[in-house]
Structure 1
Amino acid sequence: MTSTLSEEKGTTREVGELLADWPYPPPGGWTADDLDRLPQEGPHGEPDFFKHVELVDGALIFMSPQKRFHDVVIRRLADSLEAQVPEHLAVATQMDVVLGVRQRPCPDVLLIDAALDREHDRTSYVPDEVHLVVEVVSPESEFRDREVKPRRYAAAGITHFWRVEAESGVPAVYVYELDSATRAYVPTGIHRDKLSVQVPFSLTIDLTGLLG
């Protein structure tokens, strides 16, 4: 395979070269640009091997099989936001955000600039284009969603972060806002049964109804 993945320090990186020693990272580590050029198949022909992969701290993170809770909450939360979103914003789901050379997480739900909603060839956004990121926590992603990714989003300057947890089978939303002086998130509330906030825009969501 000869497809070029990226160029780093003047040398061309090829797909075959990068995957030759899988699962070990290539020399210099994975970069955000590499994810746009990964093949559909895995290094041994596995179909859709790279269909959903994130880059966090230079490491490739693969999504494990998700519970129905995760899928339903993402879709219906996005629908609820879409129904109330102002004209200058748009809703996206499971789109990458490039935070740096070795940081390319894939939030479950995002609020982006409305103009970007028509750019159908986009595979990622940058922090200045993103106003809210939402992570729906699953068992395998608890540490990343609670500890690692919020710190990365805050350091990149994304103003709003929500973390959705399953509490007795019902969604609970932990809401955070960026303290621009410290570049860290400050908790502003835990919402159960009903989510009601004024930023990033005024909205109310019946959380008990998200699961139908």
Structure 2
Amino acid sequence: MSDSPRLPDWVFPPPEGFTAADLDHIPDLPAHTELIDGSLVFVSPQASFHTLFLFLLERALHDSAPPDLRPRREMSVILGPRQRPEPDMVVIRSAAHRALDQTAYAAADVVLAVEVVSPDSEERDRKRKPQLYAEAGIPHFWRVENNAGRPTVYVYELDPATKAYALTGIHHDRLKLTLPFDIDLDLTEIDTL
């Protein structure tokens, strides 16, 4: 008789991989577990830069977004049957928020997805997730990099003909845009938080 603890069932994925719907029914999953290509992806604890930037961005998006759009942090997005990532921030259409117990948004309801790159997620945040967001038709994507404690924001817009993102700007000290709505954010404010 072994005294070792029993491993949770989700340690052993089904042969076809997990589905987006499975995430709501798997007991005891770690917080912020994502589903990429049918595999569970676990998130490491975030650095202070990550948290501070998201606070700064959430406040700016809340103040700038028109009434029919809402910023949301750390909610998963169903992109397909085997794809349910959790962007660091999304801007959704107001109608997408249906209930307080809602656990995910549909890709069609997302106007903007934002990823803050962390050391453990560089490959996913720079390559795989943008590819998945573009294929799902999310019109805008921002990737945020830590540049010696200051955010650098890479802004992308979906080219509907290729279903791929095109880089429209790189912002270091100020993020000033008119799409998907007017926003003017002093990125150096992170120093005061």
TM-score normalized with structure 1 length: 0.84
Q: Which of the residues 38, 59, 73 maps onto 2:26?
A: 38
Q: Provide the C-alpha distance between the structure 1 equivalents of 2:39 and 2:51, rounded to a whole number of angstroms.
A: 24
Q: Provide the C-alpha distance between the structure 2 equivalents of 1:203 and 1:97, rounded to a whole number of angstroms.
A: 23
1:52-83 deviation per Cα after TM superposition (whole angstroms, max 9, x unaligned):
20001111100112111111111221111101
Detail structure 1 runs of 4+ shifted over 3 Å in the superposition.
Answer: none
- The answer to whether residue 184 in structure 2 is matched with residue 204 in structure 1 is yes
1:165-206 deviation per Cα after TM superposition (whole angstroms, max 9, x unaligned):
001110010000000000000000000100001100011001
Q: Provide the C-alpha distance between the structure 2 equivalents of 1:179 and 1:50, rounded to a whole number of angstroms.
A: 35
- The answer to whether residue 145 in structure 2 is matched with residue 165 in structure 1 is yes
Residue of structure 1 equivalent to 2:3 = none
Structure 1 residues 61-210: aligned runs within 5 Å: 61-117=41-97, 119-210=99-190
The gaps in structure 2 that reach 5 residues or longer are: 1-5
Is the alpha carbon distance of 1:33 and 1:117 closer, same or farther for their aligned partners in structure 2, counting shifts above 3 Å? closer
Q: Kindly indicate whether the alpha-carbon contact (under 8 Å) linking 2:158 and 2:166 is maintained by their aligned counterparts in 1.
A: yes
TM-score normalized with structure 2 length: 0.92
Q: Kindly indicate whether the alpha-carbon contact (under 8 Å) linking 1:38 and 1:50 is maintained by their aligned counterparts in 2.
A: no
How much does 1:104 deviate? 0.2
1:71-123 deviation per Cα after TM superposition (whole angstroms, max 9, x unaligned):
11112211111011111101100000000111000000110011334632211
Q: Provide the C-alpha distance between the structure 1 equivalents of 2:42 and 2:11, rounded to a whole number of angstroms.
A: 12
The gaps in structure 1 that reach 5 residues or longer are: 1-15, 41-48
1:103-152 deviation per Cα after TM superposition (whole angstroms, max 9, x unaligned):
00000011001133463221101111000000000000000000000000
Q: Kindly indicate whether the alpha-carbon contact (under 8 Å) linking 2:16 and 2:38 is maintained by their aligned counterparts in 1.
A: no
The one-letter code sitting in structure 1 at the alignment partner of 2:15 is P
Q: Kindly indicate whether the alpha-carbon contact (under 8 Å) linking 1:179 and 1:185 is maintained by their aligned counterparts in 2.
A: yes
Q: Kindly indicate whether the alpha-carbon contact (under 8 Å) linking 1:56 and 1:103 is maintained by their aligned counterparts in 2.
A: yes
Q: Kindly indicate whether the alpha-carbon contact (under 8 Å) linking 1:69 and 1:211 is maintained by their aligned counterparts in 2.
A: no
Q: Provide the C-alpha distance between the structure 1 equivalents of 2:11 and 2:162, rounded to a whole number of angstroms.
A: 37
Q: Provide the C-alpha distance between the structure 2 equivalents of 1:157 and 1:65, rounded to a whole number of angstroms.
A: 29
Q: Greater RCO between the two (CA within 8 Å, min separation 6)?
A: 2
Is the alpha carbon distance of 1:89 and 1:140 closer, same or farther for their aligned partners in structure 2, counting shifts above 3 Å? same
Q: Secondary structure at the match of 2:63?
A: helix
Q: Provide the C-alpha distance between the structure 1 equivalents of 2:54 and 2:26, rounded to a whole number of angstroms.
A: 25
How many residues matched?
187
% of aligned pairs identical?
Answer: 50
How much does 1:19 deviate? 4.3
- Greater CA drift, 159-168 or 71-80: 71-80
- The answer to whether residue 12 in structure 2 is matched with residue 24 in structure 1 is yes
